[in-house]
Amino acid sequence: MQFGNTNLKFSWVLLLGTIVFTILFAQLGFWQLDRADEKDLIQKDIEQSFAAEPASLSSIIGESWKDLRYRKIEATGHFDDSFQIYLDNRIYNGKAGYHIVTPFYLEGSDAAILVNRGWVFVGRDRKVLPEVSLPTGMISLKGRLSSPRSKPTIFGDDEMPDAYSEKLWTYLDIDYVSKKYQIKLEPFMILQENDIEDGLLRQLPDYESNVTMHLGYAVQWFAFALFLALAFIRNGITMTKFD
């Protein structure tokens, strides 16, 4: 390719590859910036929710989940003793254990919601699940609303949360629980905070937005794009001048 008295030589295949990967790296950088903005908005939602007074759960059910996430709530009702779920691989102060999840029916309503009641130590023998007491009668709960952790990426698309045990689950899927036990459930769960003398430990973790992490990844992807473009200009192009 000739520009004035300069002849440029380069590989069109190398140029095309450089363009494709430069655009790809740049898009990944912008995606990380979007993730940072999303995490920042979530952090602001959490801060506003924590600053607000607890709301009665029965009065806000039916609202959009996005408006309710992380909301502090109070609820009165009773636990359903038909089943309890042990969520595996939950760490507390460096020790392995389980989170105990139980359905809860609100007073005067047929609406049910799953409650993460707290943590229990795995015990000396993993083959034997620890006994967990379940309070009976009317219970007053305090906590905040959340959604279950997403399905771990190490599991295949067709692997069910209770694939290995009826009670011991690898992850929680509210829709799957609803279908399995034929129970109508709200699309979120309560992370219980108040103590009701059931022997479970409750220390809810603070939300970490990791905004700086995403910004750091964005800088890296933009740097890769810039480096690739400069490398092609420096090493992929040969310029020859002629009179």
Structure tokens at 3: 């520009």
Distance CA(71)–CA(103), nearest Å, equals 19
Q: Within 13 Å, how many C-alpha atoms sit on residue 161's CB side?
A: 24
Distance CA(135)–CA(112), nearest Å, equals 16
Distance CA(106)–CA(114), nearest Å, equals 11
Distance CA(193)–CA(200), nearest Å, equals 11
What pTM, to 2 d.p., does this model score?
0.67
Predicted confidence pLDDT, tens digits, the chain (243 residues): 555 555 667 677 887 888 888 999 999 999 999 988 887 877 777 776 666 778 888 888 777 766 777 788 899 999 999 999 999 988 888 888 999 999 999 988 887 899 999 999 987 787 888 888 898 999 999 998 888 776 665 555 667 888 888 899 989 999 999 999 999 998 889 999 888 888 898 876 555 667 888 889 999 999 999 998 888 777 766 655 555
Kindly state the helix (H) or strand (E) to which residue 169 belongs, with its residue range: strand 168-169
